[in-house]
Amino acid sequence: MTAYHTGLALDYLERIRAKFDGNPRLVLKAAWWSNYMPHMAEMIPNARFIVIVRDPLDIAASYMDAGKRGEARTGENRFPPEHLPMISRDIARQYAAIFRNRKKFGERLKAIKYESLVRRRLDLSVLGDFLSLPDLADVSGRQDSGLVDFDQKHDGHFFSELWGKELSAERIGRHKEVLSQAQVATVNNATRAFREQFGYGSD
């Protein structure tokens, strides 16, 4: 099965590469792909993987915010508060898929704390070396070109007012404004092992 899907995965990537004039670097981003990253590590030997590690409480708060934005736009809240237990388990599962299979990645995996990234405590040149993207530090300073209409994008409720703007630390601790104490306890119970592993204390 791995050999079969390896062919499919490599063909898919080459087809995408061809659409961008054969650009030698493809940067693919989707949070839910973390569930498949251990398989991708086996199937795509030249791929490197970056995992942004963030306090699950703030991730849960972002889900709640996205649900409210979606409700304001369409009348439907895809992430209502009553779904928080399921959302919390999903957050834990996505991270566990990677860190329980870390040996499959070898030296091709880097975990970066969101808090360090937005507070600019991360040497982007080192990260650029890891990714073979020497101009990463320069690219990171670019802001929204104005060509993307976030309101018209599918699932546009995921785009907050910070999208396409300069890195900002204002979302750190956002959960304190969004989650009740009972909701904090729900998220903590589902993500306790992860929070302890990466030094996120109980709230």
In angstroms, the CA 148 to CA 158 distance is 14
| 134 contacts 128 by C-beta, under 8 angstroms | yes
Distance, C-alpha 125 to centroid of its chain: 20
Quick one: tokens of 155?
A: 């699932």
| 169 contacts 119 by C-beta, under 8 angstroms | yes
Task: Give the pLDDT score at 125.
Answer: 87
Task: Give the pLDDT score at 165.
Answer: 76
pLDDT band at 152 (very low <50, low <70, confident <90, very high): low
Task: Give the pLDDT score at 155.
Answer: 60
In angstroms, the CA 63 to CA 87 distance is 8
pLDDT band at 146 (very low <50, low <70, confident <90, very high): low
DSSP label at residue 148: -
Question: Can you list the domains of the chain with their CATH numbers?
Answer: 2-197 (3.40.50.300)
| 184 contacts 203 by C-beta, under 8 angstroms | yes
Distance spanning both ends of the chain, measured CA to CA: 43
Quick one: tokens of 74?
A: 């369409």
Share of the chain above pLDDT 70, in %: 92
Contacts of residue 137, Cβ cutoff 8 Å, sequence gap at least 6? 124, 125, 128
Task: Give the pLDDT score at 33.
Answer: 82
In angstroms, the CA 149 to CA 143 distance is 14
Q: CA-based Rg of the chain, rounded to a whole angstrom? A: 18
Quick one: tokens of 44?
A: 């795509």
Inform me whether the pLDDT recorded for 38 exceeds 60. yes
| Average pLDDT along the chain | 87
pLDDT band at 29 (very low <50, low <70, confident <90, very high): confident
Mean pLDDT of 176-198: 96
Task: Give the pLDDT score at 110.
Answer: 93
One DSSP character per residue, 41-72 reads HHH-TT--EEEEE--HHHHHHHHHHHHHHHHH
Inform me whether the pLDDT recorded for 154 exceeds 60. no
Mean pLDDT of 41-62: 93
Share of the chain above pLDDT 90, in %: 54
